[in-house]
Chain A
Amino acid sequence: MPVLTINGTEVEVDRGTTLLKAAAVAGYEVPHFCYHPALSSPANCRMCLVEVEGAPKLMPGCYNQVNDGMIVHTESDRVKRARKAVLEFILVNHPVDCPICDKAGECKLQDYYFAYDAQESRMRAEKQHKVKVYPIGPRVVYDGERCILCTRCIRFCEEITGTGELTLADRGDKAEVRTFPGQDLDNDYSLCTVDVCPVGALTSRDFRFKRRVWLLTSTDSVCTGCEMGCNIHLDHFRNTTERYRPRYNPAVNDYWMCDDGRLSYKALNEGRLEHPMLNGAQATWHTIAGAAASKLAAVIEKNGASSVGFVISPQATSEDLFLAKMFAETAIGEGVRLFINGNDPGSSDELLIRADKNPNRAGARLVFGGLDGVGDASALADALEAGELEAVYMMGTELGAARGRVEAGLDDVGLFVLQAAHQGGVLLDAAHVALPAATHAEKRGTFVNCDAVVQTVDQAYPPNADALPDWQIFMKVAGAMGHKLPFTFLRQIQDRMFEASEAPEPEETATEEAPAPAE
């Protein structure tokens, strides 16, 4: 393997490594705009120029590869002068409208300007004017003047999605990113172009002007839009989730996530079940647990556990499902009818979108030792129509196409306990007891994705209003029924669960194992 010296530090890297990556190994960040670790390197921004002893010109670190014995300087005066010149050139026609730019605060151009340039503009002439606020696609807006023409978005659409909607039109300082005639930037991953954009040229129409990014707090989480479980930064402000951004994980989603998943954050904020409800009236946890327990106990005593339908959710975390299992086995008892609800299958593709639109069916399978005897939502509807159930205890509100039939059937049951984060429309009206649950933004837990990767979500903020994590609700109700479940902390549940299910414990996320190459 070639050994080279970078700023006096000797490093040994694989043949074919670029100077930029080798410098990262030596502990030096080489600033760059157009280079992205998941995309090809056109070397067009010229920000990553480094000095190689013996070479007449500076070399782009993202393109040139290491040679044995190379002596590289990434912080020499010559390199610094070139960086400063490149930044000044980029800013020649840049509008510098940071105060109204959504990217401000997470903009590479801003960061690099302060780090490597920090001089007053010497440009006195009129700047080049280009297209502003151009709706380049249904979810993305383009600002030609802010664009630094790094072509990351173009390469993303060519190399990752393969859709190739974007191109560079015109030349020189009039060049702009455009779609081909008759096309929109409308692929399933179009919002990733906003992530890869190093400046504020591409902005999300959903997030535009919503929040200054430095007000957001970011929590590591997982998208619940499908069973892929793309890793995300969950960005929130005052206990409200404002956006998802993909978080690098080479084992799952690399740097990307789909638009549907990204916009699924809205469900965290809308239509929430806020308070415990008893027969349509607001109640407290103090009264509701006892009410739910006594009603449930009465049904079980009268008709047996087999008249109770217990519906688990593939949207719930594995810990919640583990408690659901214990609850069903101890508080309801042998013979309980198990069902699993969830969203209906949808579209899928080769990249990240999976057909099963639930994040944790694999987790449910592990916790329950398979789901063979567990009926789906339409089986639940069948059982309701046949009058086989006296009581239904349901987690979550996702019922898919069977929703109408289930809702109709619930009118006739003697007891319907709804334990969910959302009101679920008619479901709340039908519920005799409604128990507000926390979303995955409001609690810790694990999901198991379609490739059996066990992934942790962190609590971003405390549960909304009176909501509690599902596992705590199960403990309350079970306790009121006289079955004390022996847990105080989530970690205790996890210990028991991983012991019981023989599932691998969640690995520390890849971002912590090895530093991801800087985007």
Chain B
Amino acid sequence: MEEKYLSRHFGIDKAYNLDVYEQQGGYSTLPKAFAMDTDAIIAEMKKSNLRGRGGAGFPTGVKWGFMPRDSDVEKYLVVNADEGEPGTFKDRMIMELDPHRLIEGCVMTAWALGLRTGYIFVRGELQLAIRRLEVAIKQAYEKGYLGKNVLGKGLDFDLYVHSSAGAYICGEETGLIEGLEGKPGQPRMKPPFPAIVGVFNKPTLVNNVETIAAVPFILEHGGEHWASMGIERNGGPKLYGLSGHINKPGVYEAPSGITVRELLERFGGGMREGSDLKAFIPGGSSCAVLLPESLDAQMGFETLREAGSSMGTGCITFMDQTTCMVRLSARLAHFYHHESCGQCTPCREGTGWAYKVLNAIEAGQGTPDDLALIQDMITGIAGNTICAHGDSLVIPVRSYIEKFGQEFEDHVQNKRCPFPRWRKMRNTQRMSA
């Protein structure tokens, strides 16, 4: 088995404590990082081919390069730990089991880009992660890894944990920034991007937890080593969260470019007994659904786009033949309706309407016109919104209708859902509008 990086400490008892983390060699790379200057660090980051782990996959080194260099301007680091995408649960593992890794990454990032203040914006529901981070930050302050003059190198860096109120939209970086400023979490118009106008209207670097947690390894072993554990333009190992009708759901570390089949069979233990793979979502609920024929697709941003979906967060949900795709799309629409911030019209009204129509189809009350209506409606949302939240509904629903259109038509024609088990559940599970 390959060497572990991101999940190296997951099996070690109390690795969230500073002394255990230090015994394992934690914080030992800091002096090496402090010996490098901004250009050298950004060059390593670019060489590493690390792509943003939050879902959009923007090259991290390039993003860092966008940050203004003038040292007298106040600049902020924001770690996006608002992990709320259905089917995604990788960042919480880092925060809960290895919080010092994240802190070490933050210190290095701050050093690299001259940032004085950092915020870790954690989803409010992740209480354990918040507590572990708070304790870890306290320990790091006591040891001098945070605060004034870190390790005597002249870096002043303060790091804070900010607990969100649990809104999914605050995972969108400008929604997050608004939330951090104490305002309603409503994404901003872009441009300007956060690297120019971010938190408190100052330049801000927003990176995902897993992205920042990778920084210590990249600076320790070099960007080329990190890039070697991957495929073209997608460097380094990554945490994959596997869920659904499989034998061993969980978070596993594997290189970029691994095929979905290998993840399913080697790590996920294959489908459960009696389950046949019907479809899978490769990177969280907002990605298009893929059929078993795409199992050999490699986990990378370009490769999965070629396969007709996207990499997203790299957390894969596998579904078997008992999954009703209409119900799944209705449930997703419910989620995106519930989490729509309400700022712009197409998403605010369209997600709710889509949910109502999909739910009616699932309940056997759909009409033949409804399928065309849904198509029409999501076309009206697509690309017309302030942020990507609306598209996060459009992309999966469009793919379900495209790939499982017959299932939708059956619901309408037979005026019932052909999946009895699911129908039963509908009565017990509340889905209020």
Contact = CB atoms under 8 A, between A and B. Distances in A.
A454 to B, nearest CB: 42
Contacts, number: 103
A274 to B, nearest CB: 52
Contacts of B343: 42, 44, 149
A167 B342 CA distance: 13
Contacts of B356: 125-126
A56 interface: yes
A123 interface: yes
A19 interface: no
Given A92-B353, A149-B348, A174-B342, A56 B383 contact: yes
Given A46-B345, A46-B346, A171 B340 contact: yes
Nearest to A85: B380
B345 A49 contact: no
Give chain A's interface residue range (CB within 8 Å of chain B).
35 or more
Interface string A55-97: 0111010010000000000000000011011101110110000
Contacts of A173: 337, 340, 342, 348-349, 351-352
Contact of B384 (A86, A125, A126): A86
Contacts of A93: 349, 352
Interface in B164-179: 167, 169
A172 B380 contact: no
A122 B373 contact: yes
B348 A175 contact: yes
B357 interface: yes
Most buried by A among B343, B369, B433: B343
Contacts of A82: 380, 384
Contacts of A92: 349-350, 352-353
A46 B350 CA distance: 13
Nearest to B350: A89
Interface in A95-120: none
Contacts of A84: 380
A159 B381 CA distance: 30
B42 interface: no
Contact of B341 (A85, A126, A172): A172
Contacts of A45: 344-345
Interface string A137-173: 0000000000011000000000000000001101111
A89 B380 contact: yes
Most buried by A among B337, B341, B356, B384: B384
A43 interface: yes
B184 interface: yes
Nearest to A174: B342
Chain B interface, >50% SS class:
helix
B401 interface: no
Contacts of B112: none
B175 to A, nearest CB: 11
A511 interface: no
B431 to A, nearest CB: 13
Given A86-B345, A86-B346, A125-B357, A172 B352 contact: yes
Contacts of A125: 353, 356-357, 360
B380 A86 contact: yes
A318 B156 CA distance: 69
Given A168-B184, A173-B349, A44 B344 contact: yes
A77 to B, nearest CB: 13
B1 interface: no
B148 interface: no
A168 B337 CA distance: 17
Most buried by B among A58, A82, A84: A82
A282 interface: no
A171 B337 CA distance: 10
A122 B349 CA distance: 13
A173 B184 CA distance: 15
Contacts of B189: 42-43, 60, 63
B196 interface: no
A492 interface: no
B342 A46 contact: no
B344 A85 contact: no
A303 interface: no
Nearest to B359: A125
Given A42-B189, A46-B385, A173-B337, A85 B346 contact: yes
A128 interface: yes
Contact of B349 (A49, A89, A124, A170): A89
10 contacts: A42-B343, A45-B344, A63-B189, A86-B380, A125-B357, A148-B345, A171-B167, A172-B342, A173-B348, A173-B349
Interface of B: 167, 169, 184, 189, 337-346, 348-353, 356-357, 360, 369, 373, 376-377, 379-381, 383-386, 433
Interface of A: 42-47, 49, 56-58, 60, 63, 81-82, 84-86, 88-90, 92-93, 122-126, 128, 148-149, 167-168, 170-175
* Nearest 7 interchain pairs by C-beta: A85-B380, A175-B342, A89-B349, A125-B356, A172-B340, A171-B342, A57-B383
